Amino acid sequence: MYKISLITGDGIGPELSESAISVLNTINDKTDVKFEITKLLAGDIALKEKGKALPDETLAAIKNSDVCLKAPVGESAADVIVVLRRMLDLYANIRPAKSYPHMPALRDDIDMVIVRENTEDLYTGKEFSLGNASVALRIISENASKRIAKYAFEIAKQRDGMRKVTCVHKSNVMRITDGMFAKACADVAKDYPDITFEQMYVDACAMNLIRQPHQFDVVVTTNLFGDILSDESSQVVGGLGMAPAANIGDKFALFEPVHGAAFDIAGQNIANPSSFLLSIKMMFDWLAAKHNDSKCTEIGQKLESIIFGLVKDGIKTKDIGGDKTTAEFTAEITNRF
């Protein structure tokens, strides 16, 4: 039995969490894969009620689980997800971007993955004031760069697409930091002769994500660039509502939707839960690989296939132009499982 810790989040987070629990309970009832879910507080609600965005008891429960799901949280997001990434060494941020039917994608043949280094760069938060200037330290190490590059190449090996890795950086300007990242990726590429390797400056990548997104397979890049490019790639395939994400380390993983807490529609029961549910698909893929559990692979594939079928049939929630509530959309999924 797998132990799943679930941060229920803020804004639309609790609604999405209920959708996730409903789907997971259905899987629990209808398949041989069993798990227990522990609901946890973190984010704005936790800050208000506990005085801390990531309470000690929440952290302890996460560490005691096999895997973590996190619904979107509010303004205190950095005090939750950034801390968890560093504390649990979740060094690989994986964000697929894939075309789905009846979504406003630029093309119907987009299928890429952004592999983002998750522990370094400007996101370490090492900032200080120096007189009338503000300074931020950008840290890029060879070890972390090679580690994320290897992860990207391993993903490319497993995919059915172009088997190509694009290293994105800005070494023509940041010659030392991005120069190290680019060299580390190129060095790792030598160990994967069957994978096509190319390098691209980040501004050119941002342009080509619009101009020819179908030409990308696996993109590996630094923390800040990856954060920006992954949101862009999500919009290219129709928006953040279909964008899942994984934060993966050698021993643990956390899965979450890319989008935020959407306070403007919170409590209305109209939010699209697909991003969170596709994150659960990624969770099952990770559990399958970690525990050599082919049943988890089958469940993940079936969940994605059901969601694909729903949007293909034009069944969508009200926030993305459909007529279903969050609960109704979730029921469509559980009824098809």
Query: Measured over all CA atoms, what is the biggest interatomic distance in the chain, rounded to whole angstroms?
Result: 63
Query: Residue 241's closest CA among 206, 211, 279?
Result: 279
Residue among 29, 32, 187, 203 flagged as catalytic: 203
Distance CA 314, CA 28 (A): 27
Can 203 be counted among the known catalytic residues? Answer: yes
Can 191 be counted among the known catalytic residues? Answer: no
Report the chain's terminal Cα–Cα distance, integer Å. 20
Residue among 231, 293, 295, 302 flagged as catalytic: 231
Residue among 91, 100, 123, 151 flagged as catalytic: 123
**Active site residues per annotation:** 123, 170, 203, 227, 231
